[in-house]
Amino acid sequence: MPLGLLKYGLARRYPASRHFPIRPPLKDGYDVVIIGGGGHGLAAAWHLAHDHGVTDVAVLDKGYLGGGNTARNTAIIRSNYLTPEGVAFYARSMDLWRDLSARLRINILYSQRGHLTLAHTDAAVRTMRWRAEVNKHLDVDSQLIWPDEIARLAPTMSLSRSVRYPVLAALYHPPGAIARHDAVAWGYARAAARKGVELHPQTEVTGLLTSPDGSRITGVETTRGTVRAHRVLQAVAGYSGQVAGMAGLKLPIRSIPLQACVSQPLKPFLDPIIVSGSLHIYISQSARGEFVMGGASDPYPLYSTRSTLDFKEGLFAHMLELFPALSEVPIMRQWAGITDMTPDFSPVMGPTPLEGYYIDAGWGTWGFKATPVCGETMAHTVATGRPHPLIESFALSRFARFDQVGEKGAASVGQ
Ligand code: FAD
Ligand code: PYC
């Protein structure tokens, strides 16, 4: 048992400290400024302090900490991607997830469920077989399974043949998991603050400052004043294009809403996470018993987090084919986040042409699972000035080289 939990259990008085330290005054300058206090920015701050001893760090967020896509995502964690670069990267994240509760001293409710990606066509079966082979080659546990085994793992799902797209097979990824997304942000924030990192919610970055020749970053303008820094990391998810634009960088990114919803809680009914790219739906059951559900991205770029009836109608037309029993279950909440979509469905990570300015972007609909590995690799990159080996393939320059890392079929639930 981690020592922190033991101390907590044996303490005479309630030992929990404040949720976050009180926001300090903003200093004139820091060694490192991180724009964006979502999971990625906070994880990078913690790894900078923990792995590299860089503690003069300020995390600036225009809203509250962890209130962006980290708060809005459906918390699916897996590494069953398609490209060797992608699989290796996400597999490292899985390693970090497993003991994150103990490292951060917070229960993130990490729950390994197994992940099933359904195949409804011969073409999809071929893609699943391909993914399984790439995964196995990199020691990631994935296999192609057939309807009898699918029925054993998900007995409450309909495998009827009398539908337009019957389930033919599935890619089964036993390590697939879910976690409590908010606790992940809180855990990184509190652990980083314990190491001396400053957390500054309600502090929007409105401009970037550069040297007279425009070659290197020198600071940021914020709604609370100017801050000097020679190393700045942006980790702002749906706002990646806007913030990079302040640095004169043009990203190959479109910002598109992604919606999701959650049902009233029920007793345990569905153990694995189920995804169907052909039906554009996915579902898992949270620790609280709610069905967490989502589907394809909205049809056009937009900076708005409104919910639509179209989304719900499209989602349930297909969801009820697989789970007719859900037809009477009330939906409790529906919401959206703005996702920064890249052409190849892989992230953009590393140094940029502006010296000292680093980017962690292009996380679209797939970045929650990468939170720990982004923290680790971006901290390494900022601390050393060199891209971590695991992110070299995700450099912004790959688009100019026509060297994309195509993950479309594996990263999304359809566009
Ligand atoms: P965020 O958590 O969005 O943090 C960025 C922060 O930057 C925000 O808090 C914002 O306020 C701040 N910011 C923006 N502009 C500024 C500025 N100018 N100044 C200061 N601060 C600024 N991924 C998965 O792996 N699995 C899933 O199941 C999954 N499901 C998803 C479901 C939905 C509905 C959505 C919307 C996304 C989903 N994702 C999923 C993707 C995932 O949520 C994101 O990729 C991930 O959370 C990105 O984390 P982040 O820390 O980069 O961004
Ligand atoms: O990345 O696995 C994922 C995912 C599922 C739904 C949205 N993102």
Long-range contacts from 202-210, C-beta under 8 angstroms, 24+ separation: 202/23, 202/61, 202/62, 202/63, 202/64, 203/26, 203/60, 203/61, 203/62, 204/60, 204/62, 205/35, 205/60, 205/62, 205/243, 205/246, 206/246, 207/246, 208/232, 208/246, 208/247, 208/357, 210/247, 210/354
Per-residue pLDDT at 145 exceeds 70: yes
Q: 73: number of CA atoms within 13 Å, CB side?
A: 31
State how far the Cα of 279 lies from the Cα of 49, in Å rounded to an integer.
44
Are 182 and 71 in contact by the 8 Å Cβ rule? The answer is yes
Question: Strands (DSSP E) along 98-175, which ranges?
Answer: 111-112, 115-119, 143-145, 169-173
Q: Which residue, judged by its Cα, is nearest atom 7 of ligand 2?
A: 365
The pLDDT assigned to 10 comes to 81
CA of 371 to the centre of ligand 1 (A): 10
- Over residues 348-360, the pLDDT tens digits come to 999 999 999 999 9
Phi, psi at 198, each rounded to 5°: -95, 135
- Over residues 118-138, the pLDDT tens digits come to 999 999 999 999 999 999 999
Question: 381: which 2 tokens?
Answer: 């990159």
- Over residues 209-220, the pLDDT tens digits come to 999 999 999 999
Instruction: Catalogue all structural domains in the chain, each as residue range(s) with its CATH number.
Output: 22-73+182-253+344-414 (3.50.50.60), 113-175+255-341 (3.30.9.10)
Ligand with smallest separation from the Cα of 364: 1
Q: How confident is the model at residue 388 (pLDDT cuts 50, 70, 90)?
A: very high
Q: How confident is the model at residue 21 (pLDDT cuts 50, 70, 90)?
A: confident
The pLDDT assigned to 12 comes to 75
> Nearest-CA neighbor of 375 among 238, 197, 246, 221?
197
Per-residue pLDDT at 8 exceeds 90: no
Ligand 2 closest atom vs CA 365: 8
Q: Which residue, judged by its Cα, is nearest atom 5 of ligand 2?
A: 76
Average pLDDT over residues 370-378: 99
The pLDDT assigned to 19 comes to 79
Q: Which residue, judged by its Cα, is nearest atom 3 of ligand 2?
A: 366
Per-residue pLDDT at 20 exceeds 90: no
Pairing of strands 231-234, 254-263: unpaired
Ligand 1 closest atom vs CA 257: 36
Average pLDDT over residues 20-37: 96
Per-residue pLDDT at 415 exceeds 70: no
Are 104 and 180 in contact by the 8 Å Cβ rule? The answer is no
Contacts (Cβ under 8 Å, ≥6 apart) of 299: none
The pLDDT assigned to 1 comes to 57
Per-residue pLDDT at 14 exceeds 80: no
Q: Which residues line ligand 2 (CB under 6 A)?
A: 74, 76, 78, 282, 294, 365-366, 369, 413
Q: Which residue, judged by its Cα, is nearest atom 48 of ligand 1?
A: 367
Would you state the torsion angle of the CA atoms of residues 64, 45, 23, 183, taken in this order, to the nearest 10 degrees? 50
Are 143 and 176 in contact by the 8 Å Cβ rule? The answer is no
Average pLDDT over residues 370-383: 98
The pLDDT assigned to 13 comes to 73
Query: What amino acid occupies position 256?
Result: I
Q: Which residues line ligand 1 (CB under 6 A)?
A: 35-41, 60-63, 67-70, 72-76, 204-205, 235-237, 239, 243, 258, 260, 294, 337, 339, 363, 365-369
Per-residue pLDDT at 75 exceeds 70: yes
Q: Which of 10-14, 58-62, 188-192 shows the lowest mean pLDDT across its residues?
A: 10-14
Ligand with smallest separation from the Cα of 277: 2
CA of 145 to the centre of ligand 2 (A): 21
The pLDDT assigned to 412 comes to 75
Q: How confident is the model at residue 2 (pLDDT cuts 50, 70, 90)?
A: low
Q: What's the pTM value of the predicted model, to 2 decimals?
A: 0.96
Are 75 and 113 in contact by the 8 Å Cβ rule? The answer is no
- Over residues 300-358, the pLDDT tens digits come to 999 999 999 999 999 999 999 999 999 999 999 999 999 999 999 999 999 999 999 99
State how far the Cα of 270 lies from the Cα of 291, in Å rounded to an integer.
9
Q: What is the DSSP string of 206-260?
A: EEEEE-TTSSBEEEEEETTEEEE-SEEEE--GGGHHHHHHHTT---S-EEEEEEE
Are 195 and 53 in contact by the 8 Å Cβ rule? The answer is no
- Over residues 227-274, the pLDDT tens digits come to 999 999 999 999 999 999 999 999 999 999 999 999 999 999 999 999
Question: 69: which 2 tokens?
Answer: 């896509």
Q: Which of 7-16, 255-264, 278-287, 373-382 shows the lowest mean pLDDT across its residues?
A: 7-16
The pLDDT assigned to 409 comes to 86
